[in-house]
């Protein structure tokens, strides 16, 4: 059994089940396994030809076996990925001689976040039933994460979900992906205010101890270890499909919170041969600057055509820092305190040099992003979304000749970002058939003021006193 520890060293040793339900550690740190299971080349080679769900079960089992046995985990993985509308679940598509797209947008909300959240919804449901517990998941969204979480929780027993979005400030497609879900345990609130107001309202709910206890509030945000873990699977799956044990791939990863690319790092730690992990950011480039200089310094967030990467402080960076500091939680805590005080932290050059063996990092401007969409379209007839295009641009720029296949993670379906795609290609991308009637479906949401009493009153009325 693998125990889990906090990156800040103050949460003892915890089981997978505790880590799944808790999300954040009590000391403010992020959970990580205390040690890494190791897959031999033979064990990896034996996974060649397995389905996505079967691969997931093999990779996840050593991490979760204190919580789920093999048969139960297998069943959860089959169910989680059965709703994806591509036979390969995560298909590889060739766009140039040695360049590939790994399409991660065939899940219910058309973005890679479904890979983790579909499985997490099922894991939560099992664990809650065992414990006889009911929880209310509360979150704020500026668009994408909210819909993936809603689709993961809709109709599941012992869970309800309440998602706040800023009224008239998310796109119609984004709003409808949340508000047209027909399930009695899904509640959407459009807040008269900004995304920051939504976040402040959620924070206020968690800070209200009586309310938090009454509704057993929980979060499914990207700091949950189980989300990262679920994402390691597609790195293994893709590498095996490319025959990558002999020619380890370069993965280009459009990056915001550093969750997805950290999952690639985990795949590397457990034994998957990976040539490089390319951290690709937009103009909000705190991570690209960090990998170039060893200085992690926050800047202003600027809006871009890749909104899911408009982030300046990447929460999962703390997990990498833990590795850099040799697993010493006290040192991580000191560095983060320094960052909170001064807005900056540094790592020494030996640490940075060790990182550069695996990680490359760079950024793409808006112009470069549009040009990459156009280039892929002209070369291959494939249309990529702007987030994917950031990865393609940076990956192609930084990969060195002869370094092995370039696998660009396609993190969203192009129809989610129709304006930018049309600017670059002149094409109007249609939603896939299963979402074709999205704009005609019935919506359900409440419009409320940015007032904690109004929001909590609504939740009490709809979910009932506990």
Ligand X SMILES: *Cc1c(COP(=O)(O)O)cnc(C)c1O
Q: What are the residue numbers of the active site?
A: 113
User: Using CB under 6 A, which of the segments 14-22, 174-182, 186-194, 257-265 binds ligand X?
Assistant: 257-265
160 interacts with ligand X by CB under 6 A: no
Would you state the structure tokens that stand for residue 404, as one six-digit string?
Answer: 């092995």
In the three-class reduction of DSSP (H, G, I as helix; E, B as strand; rest coil), residue 30 is classed as strand
**How near is the Cβ of 227 to ligand X at its closest, in Å?**
9
End-to-end CA distance of the chain: 35
**How near is the Cβ of 65 to ligand X at its closest, in Å?**
26
Instruction: Say if strands 250-254 and 217-218 run parallel, antiparallel, or are unpaired.
Output: unpaired
In the complex with ligand X, the residue whose CB is nearer, 249 or 254, is 254
Among 308, 369, 420, 425, indicate the residue that binds ligand X (CB under 6 A).
308
307 interacts with ligand X by CB under 6 A: no
CA dihedral 164, 166, 171, 172 (to 10 degrees): 70
**How near is the Cβ of 112 to ligand X at its closest, in Å?**
6
40 burial type by CB count under 10 A (0-12 exposed, 13-18 middle, 19+ buried): exposed
Q: Give how far Cα 112 sits from Cα of 11, 387, 390, Å.
A: 30, 11, 15
In the complex with ligand X, the residue whose CB is nearer, 149 or 160, is 149
Find the length of the chain. 466
**How near is the Cβ of 466 to ligand X at its closest, in Å?**
32
Instruction: Say if strands 135-140 and 217-218 run parallel, antiparallel, or are unpaired.
Output: parallel
Bridge partner residues of 361 (DSSP): 279
What one-character-per-residue DSSP string does 243-280 give?
A: TTTTSPPEEEEE-SSSHHHHHHHHHHHTT---SEEEEE
Among 185, 188, 411, 420, indicate the residue that binds ligand X (CB under 6 A).
411
64 burial type by CB count under 10 A (0-12 exposed, 13-18 middle, 19+ buried): buried
Binding residues with ligand X: total (CB under 6 A): 16
Instruction: Say if strands 295-297 and 406-410 run parallel, antiparallel, or are unpaired.
Output: unpaired
Is residue 175 within 8 A of residue 426, CB to CB? The reply is no
284 interacts with ligand X by CB under 6 A: no
In the complex with ligand X, the residue whose CB is nearer, 185 or 282, is 282
Please tell me the distance from the alpha carbon of residue 306 to that of residue 299, in angstroms, as a whole number: 17
User: Using CB under 6 A, which of the segments 124-132, 234-242, 251-259, 296-304 binds ligand X?
Assistant: 251-259
* 310-339 residues near ligand X, rule: CB under 6 A: none
255 interacts with ligand X by CB under 6 A: yes
In the three-class reduction of DSSP (H, G, I as helix; E, B as strand; rest coil), residue 196 is classed as helix
State the binding string over 216-245 for ligand X (x if CB under 6 A, else -): ------x-----------------------
Among 29, 91, 121, 254, indicate the residue that binds ligand X (CB under 6 A).
254
User: Using CB under 6 A, which of the segments 175-183, 255-263, 342-350, 369-377 binds ligand X?
Assistant: 255-263
In the complex with ligand X, the residue whose CB is nearer, 277 or 347, is 277
User: Using CB under 6 A, which of the segments 47-55, 90-98, 250-258, 393-401 binds ligand X?
Assistant: 250-258
State the binding string over 83-112 for ligand X (x if CB under 6 A, else -): ----------------------------x-
* 383-402 residues near ligand X, rule: CB under 6 A: 387
Is residue 193 within 8 A of residue 450, CB to CB? The reply is yes
Please tell me the distance from the alpha carbon of residue 353 to that of residue 40, in angstroms, as a whole number: 27
256 interacts with ligand X by CB under 6 A: yes
Please tell me the distance from the alpha carbon of residue 439 to that of residue 148, in angstroms, as a whole number: 18
Among 230, 412, 421, 455, indicate the residue that binds ligand X (CB under 6 A).
412
| Owner of token pair 């490359």 | 360
Among 113, 276, 319, 370, indicate the residue that binds ligand X (CB under 6 A).
113
In the three-class reduction of DSSP (H, G, I as helix; E, B as strand; rest coil), residue 307 is classed as helix
264 interacts with ligand X by CB under 6 A: no
Tell me which residue of 271, 296, 284 sits closest to 351, measured CA to CA: 296
**How near is the Cβ of 113 to ligand X at its closest, in Å?**
6
Among 260, 285, 318, 325, indicate the residue that binds ligand X (CB under 6 A).
260
In the complex with ligand X, the residue whose CB is nearer, 136 or 284, is 284
Q: Give how far Cα 394 sits from Cα of 30, 41, 233, 409, Å.
A: 29, 30, 23, 12
**How near is the Cβ of 369 to ligand X at its closest, in Å?**
12
User: Using CB under 6 A, which of the segments 46-54, 170-178, 252-260, 455-463 binds ligand X?
Assistant: 252-260
**How near is the Cβ of 144 to ligand X at its closest, in Å?**
4
In the complex with ligand X, the residue whose CB is nearer, 283 or 387, is 387
Among 103, 114, 144, 197, indicate the residue that binds ligand X (CB under 6 A).
144
402: alpha, beta or left? (left if phi > 0; alpha if psi -120 to 50): left
Positions in the binding site for ligand X (CB under 6 A): 111, 113, 144, 222, 254-260, 308-309, 387, 411-412
């Amino acid at each position: 059994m693998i125990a889990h520890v906090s990156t800040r060293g103050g949460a003892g040793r915890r089981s997978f089940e505790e880590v799944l339900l808790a999300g954040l550690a009590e000391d403010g740190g992020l959970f990580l396994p205390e040690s890494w299971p190791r897959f031999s080349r033979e064990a990896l080679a034996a996974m060649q030809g397995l389905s996505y769900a079967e691969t997931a079960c093999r990779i996840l089992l050593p991490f979760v076996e204190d919580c789920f046995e093999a048969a139960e985990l297998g069943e959860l993985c089959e169910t989680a990925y059965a709703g994806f509308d591509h036979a390969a679940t995560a298909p590889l598509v060739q766009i140039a001689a040695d360049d590939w797209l790994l399409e991660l947008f065939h899940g219910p909300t058309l973005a890679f976040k479904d890979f983790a959240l579909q499985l997490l919804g099922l894991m939560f449901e099992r664990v809650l039933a065992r414990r006889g517990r009911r929880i209310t998941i509360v979150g704020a969204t500026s668009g994408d994460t909210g819909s993936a979480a809603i689709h993961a929780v809709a109709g599941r027993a012992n869970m309800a979900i309440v998602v706040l979005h800023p009224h008239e400030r998310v796109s119609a497609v984004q709003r409808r992906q949340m508000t047209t879900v027909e399930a009695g345990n899904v509640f959407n609130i459009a807040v008269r205010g900004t995304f920051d107001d939504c976040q402040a309202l959620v924070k206020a709910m968690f800070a209200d101890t009586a309310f938090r206890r009454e509704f057993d509030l929980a979060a499914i945000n990207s700091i949950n270890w189980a989300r990262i873990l679920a994402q390691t699977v597609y790195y293994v799956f893709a590498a095996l499909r490319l025959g990558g044990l002999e020619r380890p791939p370069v993965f280009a990863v459009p990056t915001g919170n550093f969750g997805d690319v950290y999952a690639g790092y985990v795949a590397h730690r457990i034994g998957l041969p990976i040539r490089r992990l390319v951290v690709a950011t937009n103009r909000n480039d705190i991570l690209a600057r960090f990998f170039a200089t060893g200085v992690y310094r926050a800047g202003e967030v600027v809006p871009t055509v890749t909104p899911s990467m408009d982030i300046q402080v990447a929460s999962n960076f703390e997990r990498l820092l833990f590795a850099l500091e040799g697993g010493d939680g006290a040192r991580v805590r000191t560095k983060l305190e320094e960052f909170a005080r001064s807005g900056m932290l540094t790592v020494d050059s030996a640490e940075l040099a060790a990182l550069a063996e695996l990680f490359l990092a760079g950024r793409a401007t808006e112009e470069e992003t549009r040009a990459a969409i156009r280039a892929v379209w002209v070369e291959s007839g494939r249309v990529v979304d702007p987030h994917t295009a950031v990865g393609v641009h940076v990956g192609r720029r930084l990969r060195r000749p002869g370094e092995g296949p370039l696998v660009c993670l396609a993190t969203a379906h192009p129809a989610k970002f129709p304006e930018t795609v049309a600017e670059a290609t002149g094409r109007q991308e249609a939603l896939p058939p299963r979402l074709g009637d999205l704009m005609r479906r019935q919506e359900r949401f409440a419009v409320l003021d940015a007032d904690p009493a109004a929001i909590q009153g609504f939740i009490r009325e709809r979910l009932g006193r506990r």
